[in-house]
Amino acid sequence: MARPDDSSAAAQTRTGTPEPETAHLDAGLGNVLFDVWLVSRAATALIDDAVRASGIDADEFAIYSVLASTQGMTPTELAHWMAAPATTVSSYVKRFERRGHVRKVPNPEDGRSYRVQLTAAGRRVHQAAGELFTPTLFEVTRRLGPGASDTHRRLRTLHQILASNNDDEQPPGQ
Protein backbone atom coordinates (compact mmCIF):
# COMPACT_ATOMS: atom_id res chain seq x y z
CA MET A 1 0.00 0.00 0.00
CA ALA A 2 1.28 3.50 -0.71
CA ARG A 3 2.65 5.34 2.26
CA PRO A 4 0.47 8.28 3.34
CA ASP A 5 3.26 10.73 2.52
CA ASP A 6 3.92 9.23 -0.94
CA SER A 7 2.38 11.50 -3.54
CA SER A 8 4.27 10.07 -6.51
CA ALA A 9 2.39 9.20 -9.64
CA ALA A 10 3.79 5.66 -9.43
CA ALA A 11 1.79 5.10 -6.26
CA GLN A 12 -1.50 5.91 -7.98
CA THR A 13 -3.55 3.90 -10.45
CA ARG A 14 -5.35 5.53 -13.36
CA THR A 15 -8.41 5.89 -11.16
CA GLY A 16 -6.41 7.80 -8.57
CA THR A 17 -6.56 5.05 -5.95
CA PRO A 18 -3.36 4.02 -4.21
CA GLU A 19 -1.56 1.10 -5.83
CA PRO A 20 0.22 -1.43 -3.64
CA GLU A 21 3.93 -0.81 -3.44
CA THR A 22 5.61 -4.11 -4.10
CA ALA A 23 8.87 -3.04 -5.71
CA HIS A 24 10.70 -3.33 -2.39
CA LEU A 25 9.38 -6.88 -2.01
CA ASP A 26 10.53 -7.80 -5.50
CA ALA A 27 13.95 -6.36 -4.74
CA GLY A 28 14.39 -8.98 -2.02
CA LEU A 29 14.15 -6.56 0.88
CA GLY A 30 10.80 -7.93 2.02
CA ASN A 31 8.73 -7.10 5.04
CA VAL A 32 8.73 -10.11 7.30
CA LEU A 33 6.00 -8.75 9.57
CA PHE A 34 3.62 -8.13 6.67
CA ASP A 35 4.39 -11.58 5.30
CA VAL A 36 3.67 -13.11 8.71
CA TRP A 37 0.38 -11.20 8.85
CA LEU A 38 -0.58 -12.57 5.42
CA VAL A 39 0.37 -16.11 6.44
CA SER A 40 -1.57 -15.72 9.67
CA ARG A 41 -4.71 -14.65 7.82
CA ALA A 42 -4.42 -17.50 5.33
CA ALA A 43 -3.71 -20.06 8.07
CA THR A 44 -6.67 -18.86 10.13
CA ALA A 45 -9.00 -19.15 7.13
CA LEU A 46 -7.68 -22.64 6.32
CA ILE A 47 -8.07 -23.85 9.92
CA ASP A 48 -11.52 -22.24 10.22
CA ASP A 49 -12.63 -24.23 7.17
CA ALA A 50 -11.07 -27.43 8.48
CA VAL A 51 -12.59 -27.35 11.99
CA ARG A 52 -15.92 -25.65 11.23
CA ALA A 53 -17.95 -28.85 11.64
CA SER A 54 -16.72 -29.17 15.26
CA GLY A 55 -18.50 -25.95 16.22
CA ILE A 56 -15.36 -23.96 17.06
CA ASP A 57 -13.15 -21.70 14.98
CA ALA A 58 -9.39 -21.54 14.45
CA ASP A 59 -8.71 -19.20 17.37
CA GLU A 60 -10.83 -21.29 19.70
CA PHE A 61 -9.13 -24.47 18.48
CA ALA A 62 -5.75 -22.95 19.32
CA ILE A 63 -6.89 -22.01 22.83
CA TYR A 64 -8.50 -25.42 23.41
CA SER A 65 -5.24 -27.01 22.19
CA VAL A 66 -3.08 -25.16 24.69
CA LEU A 67 -5.55 -25.88 27.48
CA ALA A 68 -5.66 -29.56 26.49
CA SER A 69 -1.88 -29.77 26.79
CA THR A 70 -1.80 -28.36 30.33
CA GLN A 71 -3.46 -28.82 33.70
CA GLY A 72 -5.04 -25.44 33.09
CA MET A 73 -3.74 -21.91 32.86
CA THR A 74 -4.43 -18.68 34.69
CA PRO A 75 -6.03 -15.93 32.62
CA THR A 76 -2.73 -14.03 32.85
CA GLU A 77 -0.79 -17.01 31.47
CA LEU A 78 -3.36 -17.44 28.71
CA ALA A 79 -3.18 -13.73 27.83
CA HIS A 80 0.60 -13.93 27.63
CA TRP A 81 0.45 -17.07 25.48
CA MET A 82 -2.14 -15.46 23.17
CA ALA A 83 -0.40 -12.06 23.14
CA ALA A 84 -3.86 -10.68 23.90
CA PRO A 85 -5.29 -8.25 26.44
CA ALA A 86 -6.95 -9.59 29.57
CA THR A 87 -10.35 -8.41 28.30
CA THR A 88 -10.03 -10.66 25.24
CA VAL A 89 -9.15 -13.65 27.42
CA SER A 90 -12.07 -12.87 29.72
CA SER A 91 -14.47 -12.84 26.75
CA TYR A 92 -13.19 -16.21 25.54
CA VAL A 93 -13.39 -17.77 29.01
CA LYS A 94 -16.97 -16.56 29.48
CA ARG A 95 -17.98 -17.93 26.06
CA PHE A 96 -16.32 -21.28 26.75
CA GLU A 97 -17.96 -21.47 30.20
CA ARG A 98 -21.41 -20.85 28.67
CA ARG A 99 -20.74 -23.78 26.34
CA GLY A 100 -19.68 -25.96 29.27
CA HIS A 101 -16.23 -26.40 27.71
CA VAL A 102 -14.12 -24.89 30.52
CA ARG A 103 -14.29 -24.57 34.26
CA LYS A 104 -12.51 -22.28 36.68
CA VAL A 105 -10.61 -24.04 39.43
CA PRO A 106 -8.68 -22.51 42.34
CA ASN A 107 -5.05 -21.77 41.57
CA PRO A 108 -2.99 -23.78 44.08
CA GLU A 109 -0.09 -21.32 43.65
CA ASP A 110 -2.15 -18.16 44.27
CA GLY A 111 -5.39 -18.19 46.24
CA ARG A 112 -6.48 -14.92 44.62
CA SER A 113 -6.40 -16.43 41.14
CA TYR A 114 -7.94 -19.33 39.26
CA ARG A 115 -6.94 -21.66 36.47
CA VAL A 116 -9.01 -22.35 33.37
CA GLN A 117 -9.34 -26.04 32.50
CA LEU A 118 -11.10 -27.86 29.71
CA THR A 119 -14.07 -29.95 30.83
CA ALA A 120 -14.77 -33.40 29.41
CA ALA A 121 -17.14 -31.75 26.91
CA GLY A 122 -14.43 -29.27 25.93
CA ARG A 123 -11.97 -32.12 25.43
CA ARG A 124 -14.44 -33.96 23.20
CA VAL A 125 -14.92 -30.85 21.04
CA HIS A 126 -11.16 -30.33 20.91
CA GLN A 127 -10.65 -33.94 19.86
CA ALA A 128 -13.29 -33.64 17.13
CA ALA A 129 -11.69 -30.44 15.85
CA GLY A 130 -8.26 -32.10 15.96
CA GLU A 131 -9.50 -35.00 13.83
CA LEU A 132 -10.83 -32.50 11.28
CA PHE A 133 -7.61 -30.46 11.41
CA THR A 134 -5.12 -33.31 11.02
CA PRO A 135 -5.55 -33.90 7.27
CA THR A 136 -5.06 -30.18 6.63
CA LEU A 137 -1.91 -30.13 8.74
CA PHE A 138 -0.53 -33.18 6.92
CA GLU A 139 -1.24 -31.63 3.51
CA VAL A 140 0.46 -28.34 4.38
CA THR A 141 3.45 -30.22 5.81
CA ARG A 142 3.62 -32.42 2.70
CA ARG A 143 3.58 -29.39 0.44
CA LEU A 144 6.37 -27.75 2.42
CA GLY A 145 8.44 -30.83 1.72
CA PRO A 146 11.86 -31.41 3.27
CA GLY A 147 11.98 -27.82 4.54
CA ALA A 148 8.97 -28.28 6.85
CA SER A 149 10.96 -28.77 10.03
CA ASP A 150 13.25 -25.83 9.20
CA THR A 151 10.20 -23.65 8.52
CA HIS A 152 8.72 -24.69 11.85
CA ARG A 153 11.96 -23.93 13.69
CA ARG A 154 12.26 -20.50 12.06
CA LEU A 155 8.65 -19.64 12.88
CA ARG A 156 9.22 -20.62 16.53
CA THR A 157 12.31 -18.38 16.59
CA LEU A 158 10.34 -15.51 15.05
CA HIS A 159 7.60 -16.01 17.64
CA GLN A 160 10.17 -15.81 20.45
CA ILE A 161 11.59 -12.60 18.99
CA LEU A 162 8.18 -11.00 18.64
CA ALA A 163 7.08 -12.13 22.11
CA SER A 164 10.26 -10.79 23.72
CA ASN A 165 9.78 -7.50 21.87
CA ASN A 166 6.27 -7.24 23.33
CA ASP A 167 7.67 -8.04 26.79
CA ASP A 168 10.27 -5.26 26.38
CA GLU A 169 7.51 -2.75 25.63
CA GLN A 170 5.43 -3.52 28.73
CA PRO A 171 5.29 -0.73 31.32
CA PRO A 172 7.28 -1.43 34.50
CA GLY A 173 5.51 -3.74 36.92
CA GLN A 174 3.49 -5.55 34.26
User: Residue 132 sits in which domain range?
Assistant: 59-143
Specify the number of domains making up the chain: 1
For residue 83, being part of any structural domain is answered with yes
pTM > 0.85: yes or no: no
For residue 35, being part of any structural domain is answered with no
Q: Looking at residue 111, what is its pLDDT? A: 83
Name the residue among 98, 57, 97, 99 with its Cα closest to residue 75: 97
Assign residue 94 the CATH number of its domain: 1.10.10.10
For residue 12, being part of any structural domain is answered with no
- Please give the share of the chain, as a percent, with pLDDT higher than 90: 72
More confident residue, 12 or 21: 21
For residue 122, being part of any structural domain is answered with yes
For residue 112, being part of any structural domain is answered with yes
Which ranges of the chain does DSSP label H, i.e. alpha helix?
23-26, 32-51, 58-68, 75-82, 86-99, 120-144, 148-168
For residue 168, being part of any structural domain is answered with no
For residue 125, being part of any structural domain is answered with yes
CB 9 within 8 A of CB 17: no
pLDDT tens by residue, 80-135: 999 999 999 999 999 999 999 999 999 988 888 999 999 999 999 999 999 999 99
Give the three-state DSSP class for 18.
strand
Q: Looking at residue 19, what is its pLDDT? A: 53
